[in-house]
Amino acid sequence: MKKILAVILIVFNTAVAQIVMPEVFSDNMVLQQNAEVAVWGKGEPHSKITVSCSWLSEKITTECNDSGDFIVRVKTLNAEREKQYSLSVTDKTSTVEYDDIVFGEVWLAGGQSNMAFELKKSKDADISDNENIRFYYAPHNYYEGYKVKEKGQWIKSGSGMTGRVSAVAYHFAMKLQKDLDVPVGIILCYKGGTPVESWMSMETLEKCGEHSAVWEFFNKRVPADYESAYQKYLADKKAGGEVKPVEPYGWRNYKRPTGLYELMLKPLIPYTVKGFIWYQGEGNAARAKQYQTLFPALIEEWRNEFSVPQAPFIFAQLPIYEHPNFKYAAWAELRESQLLTAQTVENTAMAVILDAGDKNDLHPTDKFPVGQRMALAAEGIAYGKDIVFRSPEISRVTVNDNRVILYFSIFGSEGLAFASDCGFEVVLKNGTALSVKAVILDKDKIEIFCNFCDDIQQIKQVRYGWANYFEPCLTNKDGLYASPFRINVE
């Protein structure tokens, strides 16, 4: 019907616009269950729009504004397995229809290359034929005028495209779908190599006071003759070779601040979601202090933009990796910034995935524990399950009677445990770092012993895992690894 009407419009009235819907609406889509979901699009200014849903007895009508934009809220039902619905959007000349819609739990997966790491390349690459797990792959659009290679669409797990989806998101969805027994939809919106500011708006960067700093960091990397450098990059890319050419920084580079927010994330707003999962931080490791401001600002913006101000936001802490470009503990500092975010921003949870790292590989192939721990956290904070999902976190340190005692928050676990011989460090007031022994005193207390300290009162700081790569050893009795930390002795 839609194609026939399009021909009539061309012949009789080329000035009349047809309905244009966001690509995130397609057959096979998952709508958040039991919610007022957003349905929006564009039509002729001031034209009447009718939204018809197979699960509702009454139609919903609205009118396009001066710019032709419209939005309505549609009530969805509780999820039922193997039950599909349809939805149509109509104006006076055209109709757009969507079939095989299911209600379930919708999450948005964002971040950089370790979130983007494809399922088919991962260690656990078995793909389930499960129509109750569905993915929407947001088209990669890097700059205005970029030729987007493919349209976005919802796909079912088991289709030919499933191997391309995020391995982390896949394992997250698999556990959620199994444990909740409802359909799960994941919107995939990520790009390798991106810093956090690529996914934030100009307004938010200005509001949090980092606008000038992030643009300065970017602009000083732009070559003086950017156009020549870019044309050489294209020529080298076309020629091929063993060494992959690196795209120069400039206005086309997807790493620029706000770029992918505008071109990849914004077209998805305000699709109704339950929450967010995030795996990123590698691209900001050199600016860990700044990340303490940027990351919470991104969380607040995404929640507000998607009209879910208290939505669960679950993220992975960086794993262990011996980064060749950092001669200092840059990843440890970034992990600390992530820990601070988990401790200070409400309704967030951090999946500690130290053991899922690889000493020599920035992109470890074992994504199963990452997705599983994120799903565990989702079940705890989003679905209210009485489970242990938070890793142990340092809370305070005391020095009394020549004893150094560390106190931990264990979040319902039965207590702390050592997965192997566990070494901590102390930093003395003169700057010297010394390895120390640690003994578990109680379920939430550890005592450290500094055999080489002449005076225990000279201890300035206690650290655990303060390196880009180390052998993680401290867990709770549920097997969740503790976050690395450094804590000053008062």
Tens of pLDDT, residue by residue over 112-135, are: 999 999 999 999 888 889 999 999
pLDDT at position 10? 37
Decide: 265 and 208 in contact? Cβ < 8 Å: no
Task: Please give the distance of CA 384 from its chain centroid, rounded to a whole number.
Answer: 21
pLDDT at position 241? 87
Ramachandran assignment for 402, one of left (phi > 0), alpha (psi -120 to 50 degrees), beta (any other):
left
Q: How far apart are CA 390 and CA 75, in angstroms?
A: 33
- Positions of the chain with pLDDT lower than 70, given as ranges: 1-17
Decide: 405 and 435 in contact? Cβ < 8 Å: no
The pLDDT tens digits for 224-280 are: 999 999 999 999 999 998 899 999 999 999 999 999 999 999 999 999 999 999 999
Instruction: Specify the DSSP class assigned to residue 91.
Output: -
pLDDT at position 183? 97
- Is the previous residue joined to 270 through a cis bond, with omega within 30 degrees of 0? yes
Secondary structure of residue 294 in the 3-state scheme: helix
Q: How far apart are CA 342 and CA 331, in angstroms?
A: 16
pLDDT at position 457? 85
Dmax (CA) for the chain in angstroms is 93
pLDDT at position 17? 65
pLDDT at position 401? 81
Secondary structure of residue 43 in the 3-state scheme: coil
Instruction: Specify the DSSP class assigned to residue 443.
Output: T
Instruction: Name the pTM for this structure.
Output: 0.95
Task: Please give the distance of CA 489 from its chain centroid, rounded to a whole number.
Answer: 34
Q: How far apart are CA 282 and CA 330, in angstroms?
A: 10
Give the CATH number of domain 393-488; options: 2.40.360, 1.20.1260, 2.60.40, 1.10.3470: 2.60.40
The pLDDT tens digits for 164-189 are: 999 999 999 999 999 999 999 999 99
pLDDT at position 346? 98
Q: H or E stretch including 143?
A: none
